[in-house]
A and B are shown apart, each in its own frame.
Chain A
Amino acid sequence: DAGVIQSPRHEVTEMGQEVTLRCKPISGHDYLFWYRQTMMRGLELLIYFNNNVPIDDSGMPEDRFSAKMPNASFSTLKIQPSEPRDSAVYFCASSAVAGSGYNEQFFGPGTRLTVL
């Protein structure tokens, strides 16, 4: 398997622009996670899906952020409008079902977002 695929790998945009990050999870994994990583705050869970349904979005910083999972093989994280403080590395991860939940997560290579 190719692992979790993310695109783009790097994104540079100007404040106020819309940014869309994309993720393809590992085939057969029922859970998909979006994280943000910064030096100051480390790795933060933004939202996760189970069978394409959002389960916990309590980590989404504000209404400017939205995430969708239209099918089992694709998810997007959108920021509109973007701000300089959104600059970070965004990771997507997926996990298989384990009992009543999930276990280890498999991470993609990340998207480095810079908002000028």
Chain B
Amino acid sequence: EDQVTQSPEALRLQEGESSSLNCSYTVSGLRGLFWYRQDPGKGPEFLFTLYSAGEEKEKERLKATLTKKESFLHITAPKPEDSATYLCAVQFYSGGYQKVTFGTGTKLQVIP
């Protein structure tokens, strides 16, 4: 069964305390892995796309990496404004067309 699992469910960090979020997946025919940020009361906002193992993308304090079975979202020296829920999504081919499955997210809280 195609699955996407995110851990931890929630993470509380002090400002400046670096950490990583994990997204593990079991799908065949991976087309891409996507990271989104969701603020309360809003829709998810796109952050990164990773297509192949070994690929890395960076944006400000965030860095996403991809292996054949999982992806990490590294947060370096986070600030309170980084507090949000981070979702990963896997796009893959199944039954002749493209599908997408989202993880349940990691809720990040950064304390000043």
The chain A residue sitting closest to B48, CB to CB, is A104
Name the one of A4, A45, A56, A109 contacting B97, with C-beta atoms under 8 angstroms: A56
- Count A-B contacts at CB 8 Å: 50
Whole-angstrom CA separation of A106 from B103 in the bound complex: 17
Q: Which of A41, A91, A101 has the most CB of B within 10 A?
A: A101
Tell me whether B43 and A110 are in contact (CB under 8 A).
yes
Band of interface residues on A? 20 to 34
Q: For A4, what are the chain B residues with a Cβ–Cβ distance below 8 Å?
A: 43
Q: Contacts A103-B49, A106-B46, A107-B43: A55 and B97 contacting too (C-beta < 8 A)? A: yes
Is B100's CB within 8 Å of the partner chain A? yes
Is A105's CB within 8 Å of the partner chain B? yes
Contact string against A for B residues 21-42, beta-carbon threshold 8 Å, 1 for contact and 0 otherwise: 0000000000110100000011
Q: For A106, what are the chain B residues with a Cβ–Cβ distance below 8 Å?
A: 46
8 A Cβ contacts from A16-67 to B? 33, 41-45, 55-56
Q: For B45, what are the chain A residues with a Cβ–Cβ distance below 8 Å?
A: 107
Chain B residues with a Cβ under 8 A of chain A = 31-32, 34, 41-46, 49, 87, 91, 97-105
Can you offer 20 A-B residue contacts whose CB atoms are under 8 A?
A43-B102, A43-B105, A44-B102, A45-B102, A56-B97, A100-B98, A101-B91, A101-B98, A102-B91, A102-B98, A103-B32, A103-B91, A104-B34, A106-B46, A107-B45, A108-B43, A109-B42, A109-B43, A110-B41, A110-B42
